[in-house]
Amino acid sequence: MVSRAPATSCAHGQNRSDQPMRNAHVYASTLEHESRMLRITDALARSGRFDSISLFGMGGPGLPEHEQIDRQRELLRFGHRHASNPGGSLFKLLRMCSWSLLLWRYFIHHPVACINAHSLAVLPLCYLVSRRHQALLVYEPHELETESIASRGLRRLVSRAVERLLIRRCDVVFVVSGAIADWYALNYRIPRPLVIRNVTEPLASRTEDHAALRAEVGLPRDGTVFVYQGAMMPGRGVELLLRAFCSLPELHLLLLGNGPLVPSIIDATARNSNLHYHPAVPPAEVLKLTAAADVGLCLTEAACLSYAYSLPNKLFEYLAAGLPVIVSDLPEQSRFVAAHKCGWIAPSDEKALAKLLTSLNREQITSRRASAAKAAEECRWSREQERMIEVYRTLLDG
């Protein structure tokens, strides 16, 4: 669970009275929809282990450089805020280097007691900061990054080498699924990382203004509505869903999120009255909007090992909103759904998927909805966070 760095572990965990206990969380995004980071930092703030918590991200068009989340937490964005950026690999690399340098200059003069790297891309920077300030180093990647679609060829070789070197210098490693934890333990020969799943708290009430919410989004009052929420990008089953629902006019599909496939989605909604699109909403509003549907869809494609081993946010958000789910036949997702009897396993074939969708009646959906509510209660964040907080207690007090 915990892998300590001999060079730094002696100083780690000491609550030094001469300076505040500050916790930094670093992630190379604009931090607009990072629900996992918000949940984690909220739990840490409530635990009383730190005096202040700062989330560090990238600048973006129209985004403030500083946001005060609450009394203990703040959000800081660094870097240029262009309305549009080139998408080439070289530009992205240069932007990442420039952004990392800005953060390094900041951290030189701003000590932290603990720094959390939320991706492999920021792990080298966070390691250097931890060495400079003798701070705890926590690594919590949101996926199996070295085995992602984007990580290929030389990039994958370099990424694995960097991760293999630095992961042993982390005080603790958190991952999002058991399969990913097993992969790290096997391939890097380290103690098995602690699994902190992307669970959330169940929605307090699903019936409040349900009809009004459906009307607001343009959904039928009584029709069967399926929802896909998250990134609108290849590899997530979005194209498969569009093709399937175009042939099922009696069923409705709500797509909630942003991404490169949005233009294609909008074009499809213009031609099919049963397709509905809504841009991404702030994390606090996701569950309420999701609850307007009847069934949640999580059709991740096995395009890479990272996807195959994933246990996505959306799966638990569907359950928290009171929805049964249809998931891909991937190890972690299918195992979870089968264990909790909270949904169905989707075939990868378009016609077979359409057959499954049309076969679901109100009685079946209602039955699985009860199991979904039970699963959401068992997997709620208030329980999951306790294991995480206990690790921090051990590190900070040990």
Burial 327-360 (b: 16+ CB within 10 A, else e): bbebbbbbebbeebebbbebeeeeeebbebbeeb
Cα–Cα distance for residue pair 317/350, rounded to 1 Å: 25
> Does residue 283 have a pLDDT over 90?
no
Residues 215 and 364 in one domain: yes
Strand ranges in the chain using DSSP code E only, listed in sequence order: 22-26, 52-58, 66-68, 73-78, 114-117, 136-139, 172-175, 194-195, 225-229, 252-256, 275-278, 295-298, 325-328, 343-346
CA 189 centroid distance within chain: 26
Residues 234 and 325 in one domain: yes
Residues 225 and 149 in one domain: no
- Compare 139 and 11 and report the one with higher pLDDT: 139
Cα–Cα distance for residue pair 320/339, rounded to 1 Å: 17
Mean pLDDT value across residues 52-69 = 96
> Does residue 113 have a pLDDT over 80?
yes
Q: Is residue 204 part of a domain?
A: no
Residues 117 and 189 in one domain: yes
Q: Is residue 9 part of a domain?
A: no
How would residue 86 be classed by pLDDT, with cut points 50, 70 and 90?
Answer: low
> What is the residue-averaged pLDDT of the chain?
91
Residues 129 and 242 in one domain: no
Q: What is the pLDDT of residue 87?
A: 59
Residues 314 and 237 in one domain: yes
Q: Is residue 303 part of a domain?
A: yes
Q: What is the pLDDT of residue 90?
A: 77
> Does residue 397 have a pLDDT over 70?
yes
Residues 352 and 261 in one domain: yes
Q: Is residue 316 part of a domain?
A: yes
- Write the CB contacts of 389 (distance below 8 Å, at least 6 apart in sequence): 43, 44, 47, 49
Task: Provide the domain limits for residue 82.
Answer: 22-198+381-397
Name the DSSP class of 329: S
Residues 26 and 118 in one domain: yes
Q: Is residue 5 part of a domain?
A: no
Cα–Cα distance for residue pair 225/241, rounded to 1 Å: 13
Residues 387 and 338 in one domain: no
> Does residue 13 have a pLDDT over 70?
no
Number of domains composing the chain: 2
Burial label for 140, CB within 10 Å (0-12, 13-18, 19+), is buried
Q: Is residue 58 part of a domain?
A: yes
> Does residue 386 have a pLDDT over 70?
yes
Q: Is residue 356 part of a domain?
A: yes
Cα–Cα distance for residue pair 310/145, rounded to 1 Å: 11
Structure tokens belonging to residue 73: 């937490």
Residues 116 and 136 in one domain: yes
Cα–Cα distance for residue pair 363/256, rounded to 1 Å: 26
Instruction: Please write the tens of the pLDDT for every residue from 141-173.
Output: 999 999 998 888 888 999 999 999 999 999 999
> Does residue 207 have a pLDDT over 60?
no
Q: Is the pTM of this model over 0.85?
A: yes
> Does residue 4 have a pLDDT over 60?
no
- Compare 205 and 260 and report the one with higher pLDDT: 260
Please list the residues that pair with 209 across neighbouring strands.
none
Instruction: Please write the tens of the pLDDT for every residue from 297-354.
Output: 999 998 899 999 999 999 999 999 999 999 999 999 999 999 999 999 999 889 999 9
Residues 217 and 148 in one domain: no
Residues 268 and 293 in one domain: yes
Q: Is residue 1 part of a domain?
A: no
Which of 201-215, 331-345, 373-387 has the least mean pLDDT? 201-215
For the domain that residue 267 is a member of, what is the CATH number? 3.40.50.2000
